[in-house]
Every structure is written in C-alpha cells, then in structure tokens.
Structure 1
Amino acid sequence: MRALTWHGKHDVRVDTVDDPEILNPRDAIIKITSTAICGSDLHLYDGYIPTMQAGDILGHEFMGEVVETGPKSTLIKGQRVVVPFTIACGSCFHCTKHQYSACDNGLPADNQDIAQAAYGQPMSGLFGYSHMTGGYAGGQAEYVRVPFSDVGPIVIPNGIEDDKVLFLSDILPTGWMAAENAQIEPGDTVAVWGCGPVGLFAVQSAFLMGAERVIAIDHFPHRLELARKFGAETINFEESKTYDALMEMTGGIGPDACIDSVGLEAHGFFADNVWDQIKVSTFTGTDRTHSIRQAILACRKGGRVSMPAVYGGFADKFPLGAFMEKGLTLKTGQTHVQHYMPALLNAIMEEKIDTTFLISHRMPLEQAAEGYKLFHDKQNEVTKIVLKPGMDLAQAA
C-alpha cells in the first residue's frame, strides 16, 4: 500500500510499504477514505518529538471503511467509522473512569519503558506519533490496523459525508475538552491562545458552554477572521501587547479562564521566546512555552487555565510563583476522545457544531509531502488539509 513515512526533519515521503495485518483478536483493518494533517504533526515534521524512526507511518486523524476484523472485534465489514487518535483498551483502571488517554494497556510492553523514563508513567498509545507513544503505524495511508477496535471507532450513519465527521478523530473533542477543562461558567470571559484548528474549536465550544465573551489571540489574519465569525473578539499579538490588551478588555481583572492551544512551538519576537528558541536550537532545551507563561500571568486571580496544547519535555522560566500566588487551577492532558465522540457526533447531526469551515485544502494522499510543506509554510492560508487516498489530481482543491 501507499503511505506517508517520516525520514527526518522536514523529510516526509509517500512510499510503498507492507499492508497492515490482523495481529490481535480485537484488531480491525480500515480502508482510509479521509485523513488529515494535524497541527501537532508539524511537531514531528520539525523534529521536536523524540523516538521517531525512519520509515514510521504518520497520521492520527482518519476515518474509513472496515475491510477486515479480528474474531473479537465488534465492527462489521462495510461499516464507516471514525477512529480516535488515542489507543485504549476500555477496561483498565483509567478507562473505566473514561480517562482513555491514560490507558494502562494502550502501549505495547516494549514501548512502556520509554514513556516511563520520560514522564514517570506510560500513557495511552497514539497512532503515528513516535515510539514513545507505541510506535503504531498511522492513518496517512491507504489502510491502517486499529487495535482495540471494539472500544475506539465510532460508526457513522449512512448519508453523512466524511468532511462533517472526520474531526471527531481528534481536534473537535480536543477543543471541546479544552473548554470543559476551563470549567466555563455562564457569563465568563475566556481567552484562547492560538487560532489553529484546536483553538477555533475551543472558541466554538466555549460559547456553547455559556461563555459571554471569548477573546482569541493569534497573528494570522485569516485565522483571527474565522474566530470572529463565531463571535470572538480578537487580539493580533504582532499589533498589540497581549497582556495589556487583555487587562484593558477585562477592566484590569483578567480573563476568568485561559486556554493555551499553541504548544511547544510558540511564535513571536518576545524575550522569553527568543531565549527558548536559542536553547532549542542548541539542544539545551525542548519547548518554547511563551503562550502558557502568558496565559498564567494574564488569567484573573482564582481563575482556570486549560492546556490542550502539546508539550514534549521540560520547561524553564515557568511562572510557578504567579501560579501559586494567584490561586490558579491548571488542567491538561491528551484528549479522552472515546468519551466525547458520541455526544459530539449527535451535535454535528443536529447542526449545533460546524466542522467543515475549517477545511482549506483537499489533496490526494500522493501529495501528502507537499501538503506538509504547505501547512508548515503557509499557516495563514492553510487551516486544515484533508488527504484522500485515490483522489485524482484534478479533484484536488
């Protein structure tokens, strides 16, 4: 089959690789009909996530048709399914609490030591996202093996096109959980750092949860315009000082809740961010954490900070004193996708949530490498690229 493979920083290629096979009784094989490039895939593209190996198949946002099942799978051949990016068993201590991204059995035994050493305990497995998260082949391919297929995938009713439901795999539940973790109360003012896909879904989710005002922060004009379409006020951090603008907009109090949707590759010519960039480029640091620092400093006393953004290692210059003295609460974590999928699917079917606005480009799988470069280099114009195996070049848009 054809699949997008990683070969190093800024080097991804569509190669011919072995077809996936059923390895465990609960497996299923999915023929991919749609798969997307995620903003967090760019962290792999930029070489920030450790334990990648040459030839690894990328991709964790995908859906498709069931073509083969193991004897203990509950899926049926021919069903259309969206697959969550987290791989979870459904029956361990954490899964029974619906904390699927903390599953004890999502990682193969050979990979658990890597995560144990890095983070103290292993997390769930993730598709296409390094050997620290299981070394699983991803879904930017023609076919993919789905472990624990009796727990993860959600069956999509006939008549609903892929574009409406594809983002149930990751970014829609992630944006929703980000807003939920912010513990939004009616009348709240919520600030969202980053108007990428997760940030835009967090904006939409915050309003649905009762926020009175949402303030979206970015520097890409098109993304800020998308946030305004949902009713958000906006700050372009290249034109205004974010902290000062937030204080002015909230009467000096600060937002009730702050959501960091930026992560370890924060942009902007700020003193702390420049120093972070120097440390990353000289291999003396891992993450550029300007946005979470800024969220903590801007949040009102007694407020809540939600961090759906991806961070990979250790951070310095963390404003721990401000965090403690202000009495803030921080909630974070990979998304418990399986927990949120059913309710969000219903919301899509009832037209309470729009997802298709996000898609800016559709490309054949064969052009995936070009898609990565385009997304990396043109983030104002590109909001989401959906890859379609088998798409004719003439159909791309």
Structure 2
Amino acid sequence: MSHVAKSQMEEVDHMTIQDRPVRTGHGPLEGIVVADFSRVLAGPYGTMLLADLGATVIKVEAPNGDDTRAWVPPARDGVGTYYLSVNRNKDSVVLDLKDPVDLETAYDIIDRADVFVENFKPGGLAQYGLDPESVARRWPHLVHASITGFGLEGGAHMPGYDLLVQAMSGLMHVTGSQHGPPQRTGVAIFDVVTGMHAVIGILAALRERTVSGLGQHIVLDLLSSAQSSLVNQSTGYAACGNEPMRMGNEHPSLYPYGPFMAADREVVICVGNDSQFTRLVTLLGLPELADDPRYSTMRGRNLNRTTLEPLITQALASRTADEWFEAFQSINVPSAPILTVGEGVRFAQKLGLETVVEVGDGEAAVPLIKNPISFSRSEVSYHKAPPALDQDGEAVRTWLANTAPTTAAAVRLSRVEV
C-alpha cells in the first residue's frame, strides 16, 4: 500500500468510526453511516435494522417531524408507539429542505454517508437536487435506496399506503372467510417486508462497493414486494393461471391446517405430511383414518376435507385447547393455542427468547421488541431510545464541522485491502 493510500484509508476510518455523532458498539455494520430521509414505516423499519447492526443512522425530519410520532393511540409519554417501534438507535435532526441553509446541511450529511434512504413521492426530491441522477453524479460512492408504493413510472402518482397495496396486490382478496368480505392483515405487512428487502439490497450494494468503490441506486416498491411475498399464491397464478380465493383460515394445499374447535376454544393444528396425520388421528382415537384412502394422502385430505373436518372436531371436543396443545406437542404434531399479542410476547419470554429489551438509560428507557437476529460473535446494539424531534441536531452539526466528506476513492481504499 502506498503512503498516500494508507493516509487516505486512515482518514476515512477516523471519520466514519471515531467522529460519528454516536458510538454504536461493535456491530457488523460499525463504520457505516446512513442518511435516513425516510418516514412512516417501510424506510424507518429498514434503517432501524441497520442501526441495530451497528450503523450510524441520522434521521432527517421535516420541522413537523415523522408523521408516526402523532399516530395515537396507543402512546407512551405522549409519543405514538408506532413511531417508537421503528426508530431506536437513531439520531434525529430537523431540516427544512426548502431552506437553503438546511439544504446545505442535508448535503453535508450525505457527503459523509455510505447509504442514502428516502421514500419521497417519485420526483419529489428533484427540486432539492436529490433525484437519482443528481445523487449519482455528486455522490458516486453512495448506495441510494428509493422506496415507493407503486414504482417510479406508471404508478408514480399513486400514494404508497400499505392498505392500498394490500388491496391491489390480491392479499385482501385471499384473506378473510370464504363467504365474507376481503380483509386486511392486522399489521402493515408490505411496509415491513419492503423495509427488509431494502436492507438486503443495501447490504448487497455495500458488498459490491468493496470491489468497485462505487455505489448504485436501489429501487423498491411495495407492490413488487407484495407480489414476491405472496409466494405460493402469486406463483400459482404466474405459473399455471390459478386464481386463489379466500378460504378463511384454511390452507389451499394442506389439510388439516388451521384452527379447530376444542372443548373451550380453538386450537391450531398444522399437518404437513402423512406421518404427522397418522400421529394426529391415533391420538384422537381415530387410527383407522390413517389407512382410509380418502385421507391417507395429502391430496386425498384436501379433496375430502368437508367429511374429515367434523370427525376431527368431534374428537377434539373431549379436551380443552390447552390440553390438546400439550398432548400434540408430546407426539410432535405441530400445534398452537391462539394467543393475544400480549400473550404471545409472554409465551416467547417463557421460552427464553427475551423478545422485549429496555432501550435507553434510566427513566428514559423504553421497552421495545428486540431485533430477531442473534450473532455468535457480532453484537446487536440497543444503545439509544427512539429520539425526540431534533434531539441530536446540535450533535450532528458538531460532527459535520469536525469531519471531512467521503470520496469514492477513499471508500474503496477503506473497504479493500490494497
């Protein structure tokens, strides 16, 4: 390595690790800086995952803040838990991009970032010189992730609300009881899935940058994420023209697979193969069903579910759901009680999963749901509670004043052994 190259690499390492607004431990993304211009759910969820893994995430908010701060109820200390759920480990700075001074500060943040994430309406950032073409020219090292509802072209005019995507993707059409109306899911599922897809794309682009030294533009939309996430349902249509319909809690390809009424309430049974079915009916006192040609194969059970269902339900009436759950576990038949969200959290705790973590210090600590990833060597960070609006504005500006912009050449030297 030349003296100049070594000096450049040390300068970048010093800038990205030693002088960041907040130290985030030793996660696998330590040293990565993310300029987060996203709001609501898809973008913030993705950038929170990056922050959990050690990246420094600077959350740039408009003067009125992220909309989800005011999405209540429920709330904790007056702040919507919607906002709290996706914004830990971040530094908040308020910038009005219409103000020339604030816009320059936004540029300064991006100058020092590895990743730029935004979910503005397509074309909405052009007036600020932050459209994809301008970003690529000014910051060739940058990984730029754009998240939209329906793409950058034909659906650019459509607002990217998750419920609209649930409606237009077909998810609502296949969700709900057979003779009832279409239903949405109980969570904005495609925002969450798109946020995860964004993280995958960002990590892949950062990996590729270690070779080329250049960033690239990643484009994601909720509708495409929805089509991918519908997996067997959307592929059934694409591959053979099958148009799936609502089946309530039943599965189109597996039976028995869903909730069944026990003596007191429903218990979920998931039979995925013939051996599981044999164990199930033997426990139910109906061993002859395992040899009945109508039910001995999965295809047969699917075709004859209307006659099989009352036999199972009648047998289940002899015990409570909790008793059946314990009995099914003992013979390795997949089963579950139907719990509330709170009961589900407590059940996970009972299993030792420790899904709730206290994030922050002292009275400011907030109980949140932990990142689901565990590493054998790296760390997941929970160093900072979701920030108040502009909580870190001064710290971010101090950091900007004491660090130099990143360059494509320096990025390449800092990421690749030369």
Q: TM-score, normalised by structure 1?
A: 0.23
Structure with a larger share of its residues in strand: 1
Structure with a larger share of its residues in helix: 2
* Larger Rg belongs to: 2
Structure with the larger RCO, 1 or 2 (CA within 8 Å, 6+ apart):
2
